[in-house]
Amino acid sequence: MDTSEAIHPDRVGPIIVQEAWGTIGKALALEHMNGVYVCRGERASLAFVFLSEKMFRMKLFMGKDLDLSTTVAVLPRENEPLEATVEETDSAWKLSSGRLVLEIEKKSSALSVFDLEERLVARQNNISWNPRGAIHSVYDMPGDSHFYGLGEKASFLDKRGERYTMWNTDVYAPHMPEIEALYESIPLLIHMHGSSSYGIFLDNPGRTDFDMRSHGIAYTIGCSTGDYDIYFVYGPDLKEVVRDYTGLTGRIALPPKWALGYHQSRYSYMDQNEVLHLARTFREKEIPCDVIYLDIHYMDEYRVFTFDPVRFPDPEAMMSELKALGIRIVPIVDPGVKKDPKYAVYRQGVEKGHFSRKLEGDLFFGDVWPGTSAFPDFTDDTASEWWGNLHKYYTDLGIPGIWNDMNEPAVFNSSKTMDLDVMHGNNGNPKTHEELHNLYGMLMSKATYEGLKRNMDGQRPFVLTRAGYSGIQRYAAVWTGDNRSFWEHMALAMPMVLNMGLSGLAFAGPDIGGFAHHTSAELLVRWTQMGVLFPYCRNHSSIGTLRQEPWSFGPEIESILREYIGLRYRWMPHLYNLFHEASENGLPPMRPLILEYQDDPNVTNLCDQFLVGSDVLAAPIYRPDTEHRAVYLPEGEWIDYWTGEVIQGGRHILAHAPLSIMPLYIKSGAVIAEGGIKLYADDRTDETLTLRVYGAKARPGFKASYSLYEDDGSSFDYVSGVSSLIRFELRGGEDELELSYRYERRGYAANRNLLRFALVCTAFKPSEIEGLNELTEDEADHGQEGWYIDTQTGGLTIQVQDMSQGAVFKLKG
Ligand code: GLC
C-alpha cells in the first residue's frame, strides 16, 4: 500500500514557479548620519560611505537596521569617511566626493558615476533580489569595454565575453577555459573603457558571479547568499585601481628573500635520503635552490604535524644537513585532521571544540588523504590560535615556511567541499559554511602565518596557499594548483598570473614544468625560462609522472636551466626591490603590458608576453619545435638582452629564439640592480651590487634613475627602520654624463665595500672621469676604484667605494 509519499512533490515532475524578483523601486529620501549616506527606496535602502575621493562603499539593506561591519578581507580603516557635497534636483541626488560625482536617480534608484569632466564612468541600472536571497545587479557595458582582475581564472587576459563564479573549488582539471570556479576567489572586477578604469569589489565570501558574456550591452554581478556589499574603486589609471584596491584589502607582507629563490617540489620526495640526495645534487651541480618541499608522504599516515617514523626517522639530522647547504624545507599542511582518538591533534581539537560542526552539535567529517577527517573552524580566533600554535612543531625544527593545500576546503565527496549547513562559530556571529565558504582557505593561511610568526623569533615566515579570498596576499603566496605538462597550460599561466597580480596577488606562480601528465625536455626548458621571471618560482610534479628536476634530461638541458635559474638569482636585488614596491603600493612584480601602456590598443588583451617591473619585457616561446615568434614592443627604444641590438618600439618584430634563448628586452634608459650569482638567495657573505644602465646617451634630456631598497632580507627589523634606500641617477649633457648616487636612508649596512655602475649597450665612451682613474680589468678585480671598458661587451664599468654620503661623477665624452 502506498502512503501519501506517492504524491510527494518530487515525484510529480518539475513545478514551474515564477520567482518574483524585487527591486528597490523609487528612491524616496536621502539621509546622512555619521559619514553614512542612506538612500531610502520603496522596498530597500542603499548605504554609501566615501572612503576616499575616489573610492566608495555601497551596501544594499532591507529594513531599518544597517550593519556596516566588513569581512576580514577589508583592513580596519584609520581615517574617518569623507563628507560628500550633496545636491538635490527634481530627478536625482548628486553626491560629490572630490574626484567623483555619484548620481542616484529618484525614479529608479539607478546609480551613475561621473568624473569631474562629467564623463560617465559607470552605471548600475538595477539591483534585484529573489525570495531565496540571491541578489543581482546590472551595469552598463559599452562597446569598448575590457575586463581584468577576478583573481585566479583560466582563459585570456581580457575577460570580456566570459562568465565566472567565485566558489573555491578543487577541480582536478582546473585549467580549462570553461571552468568558472577555481581554488581562489577574488571578487574584484576591473572594467576599463575609453581612457578610464574602475574596480568593483564585491565583499561577499559566499557564492558570487560575474557575467560579462550573457547580456549584450550589460554585465552583471550577483551573489546567491549574504550581502550585496561593494566597493567602487575609481582609477582612471589601472595602476591606481590596483593601488587603492590593495590599500583596502592589504598588500603582500615583504617576504623573506629565500622565498624569492628557486623552489623544488614533487609529490612526493619519499624519504629523508631522497631529500638529502636532492639537496646535495643541487649543490654539486651548482644550480641555485632555496627550498625543497615535502608533500604528503612525509607524514605518518597523512597526520598533519607528524613525520613518518620509517621514511623520515631523524628530521633533526636532515634539517641540520640542509641548513649547512642553505636549503629550507617547506612541508605541506592540509586542514583535514585524521579522525583517530590516539592522535593528539585530533583529540585536542575535539576536546577544545576547535572543529567545524553542524548546528545540532555533530562534528563535520569528510574524507581527504588521511581518510575520515575533522576540519578546524578557522572562523573562530581561538581555533585559529590553537592551529597557529601547533606549528611550533615545525619551527622548532627550523622550518620557516608552510604549504597550505586542500584548503578550499577540498573533500572527496560529490559537493567537493564541506557541507553547506556546517555552522561556523565566526567569533560569536555564527554563519553557515555556505555564507563563508570562500574565507576558509584564507583564514587557514592567516592562522598559519600568524602562528609561524609567533614562533620564529623575529624572522619572516613564508606561507604558500592554494585557496584564498581577497586579502590572502597579506598572509601567503598563491600557486595556481594542478595544471598539467601541456604547452597550453604553460601559455595559460601568463594571463592567469597577470590577472592575479592585478587582483592584489602579487606573489603568485604556477607549477613550473606542469604538475600532472609528463613533461618533456623542451617544455621544461621553455617553462623554466618563463617561470624564473614569475613572482613565485617552483617546479612541482605529480606522483607517477616523468621526473622534472633540472638535471632530468641530460647535461645540455641542465646547463640551460642553470643559466636561467642563475639569471633569477643575479637579478635578485632588482626582484626584491620589486617585491618591496608591491608591499608598499600593491603593484605586482609581473605586469601585463596594459598596466604600463594603458593607452596602447595593441595591448588590451596581450598576454603571451609580460613585463617584469616596468622595463623588462619577456616573450616566452610556448609552443613546441618553435624558434620564432612575434613580439610586440610598445613605444620607445628597446634593447635585445642577448644581442644588445637597439630596436625601435611601437611595432611587432619577429624574434629568433633557439632553445637556449627566451626573447627578453630591456627598455632603453632602464636600470637593473644585479648581485652576484649565489646558490641560495639569502647568502649574505657577499652583497656585491652592480647597477646596470641600458642604453645611456650623452645628450641633454637623457635621464636614467633607480631607487634600490635593501634590508637583511630575513627579519622584521625593517619595520623599525633597519633598511636602506639608495637613489641613483644618470643625466645626459652635451657630450657628457653625470652619475650620482646618494643614500636617502642607510639603516642597513650591506656586506660590501664597492658599488659598481655598468653602462651597457651604449655608444658612450669616456675620455675622462673626474676624480677616477682608468683601470685594467685586473686592477678592478682587485677592488680598486676607477673605471674600465669591458673588453668583451665594450660597456663602461665604474667602480667606487660605497659611501654613506654618496658621490657625483662627471663623465666626459
Ligand atoms: C593536490 C595539490 C598538489 C599536491 C597533491 C598531493 O593535488 O594541488 O600540489 O602535490 O595534492 O598533496
CA of 394 to the centre of ligand 1 (A): 20
CA of 462 to the centre of ligand 1 (A): 18
- Ligand 1 pocket, 267 CB below 6 A? yes
Name the catalytic one among 152, 184, 308, 408.
408
Contact between residue 400 and residue 442 where contact means Cβ atoms under 8 Å apart? no
What is the DSSP pairing of strand 92-96 with strand 85-88? antiparallel
- Ligand 1 pocket, 380 CB below 6 A? no
CA of 180 to the centre of ligand 1 (A): 20
CA of 512 to the centre of ligand 1 (A): 14
C-alpha 46/C-alpha 296 separation (Å) is: 48
Q: Which residue has the cell 598533519?
A: 304
Angle at 456 between CA 450 and CA 460, to 5 degrees: 70
Q: Whose CA is nearest to atom 5 of ligand 1?
A: 267
- Ligand 1 pocket, 332 CB below 6 A? yes
Q: Name every residue whose Cβ is closer than 8 Å to that of residue 767 and which is 6 or more positions away in sequence.
A: 812, 813
CA of 447 to the centre of ligand 1 (A): 21
* DSSP code per residue over 275-291: HHHHHHHHHHTT----E
For ligand 1, mutation pick of 297, 403, 405, 512 (most atoms within 8 Å of CB) = 405
C-alpha 455/C-alpha 520 separation (Å) is: 41
227, with CB counted inside 10 A (0-12, 13-18, 19+), is buried
Contact between residue 381 and residue 375 where contact means Cβ atoms under 8 Å apart? no
For ligand 1, mutation pick of 293, 515, 517, 543 (most atoms within 8 Å of CB) = 515
Give kind and range of the element (H or E) at residue 434.
Answer: helix 433-436
Atom of ligand 1 nearest to the CA of 267: 10
- Ligand 1 pocket, 482 CB below 6 A? yes
pLDDT value for 3: 76
Atom of ligand 1 nearest to the CA of 406: 1
CA of 204 to the centre of ligand 1 (A): 27
Atom of ligand 1 nearest to the CA of 515: 9
For ligand 1, mutation pick of 295, 298, 330, 464 (most atoms within 8 Å of CB) = 295
- Kindly report the three-state secondary structure assignment for every residue of 565-590: HHHHHHCHHHHHHHHHHHHHHCCCCE
Name the catalytic one among 209, 229, 377, 482.
482
Name the catalytic one among 170, 405, 450, 683.
405
Q: Name every residue whose Cβ is closer than 8 Å to that of residue 613 and which is 6 or more positions away in sequence.
A: 574, 578, 581, 589, 591
In this structure, the number of other CB atoms found within 10 A of the CB of residue 416 comes to 18
C-alpha 194/C-alpha 197 separation (Å) is: 8
C-alpha 504/C-alpha 150 separation (Å) is: 10
CA of 55 to the centre of ligand 1 (A): 39
Q: Whose CA is nearest to atom 3 of ligand 1?
A: 482
Q: Whose CA is nearest to atom 7 of ligand 1?
A: 482
pLDDT value for 2: 72
Q: Which residue has the cell 623573506?
A: 256
Q: Whose CA is nearest to atom 10 of ligand 1?
A: 267
Atom of ligand 1 nearest to the CA of 332: 12
CA of 733 to the centre of ligand 1 (A): 57
Catalytic status, residue 405: yes
Catalytic status, residue 482: yes
Atom of ligand 1 nearest to the CA of 482: 8
CA of 558 to the centre of ligand 1 (A): 26
- Ligand 1 pocket, 219 CB below 6 A? no
- Ligand 1 pocket, 334 CB below 6 A? no
CA distances from 5 to 1, 2, 15, 17 (A): 11, 7, 17, 22
Cell of 675: 648581485
- Ligand 1 pocket, 296 CB below 6 A? yes
CA distances from 299 to 30, 303, 467, 545 (A): 60, 6, 21, 21
For ligand 1, mutation pick of 263, 299, 482 (most atoms within 8 Å of CB) = 482
pLDDT value for 686: 87
Contact between residue 241 and residue 54 where contact means Cβ atoms under 8 Å apart? no
pLDDT value for 517: 97
Atom of ligand 1 nearest to the CA of 334: 12
pLDDT value for 13: 63
Contact between residue 71 and residue 92 where contact means Cβ atoms under 8 Å apart? no
Amino acid at 18: Q
Mean pLDDT by 10 residues, the chain (813 residues): 72 65 96 95 97 97 91 94 96 97 97 97 94 95 98 97 97 87 97 96 98 95 97 98 98 98 98 98 98 98 98 98 98 98 98 98 98 98 98 98 98 96 98 98 98 98 98 98 98 98 98 98 98 98 98 98 98 98 98 98 98 98 98 98 97 98 98 95 92 97 98 98 98 96 97 96 94 93 94 91 96 94
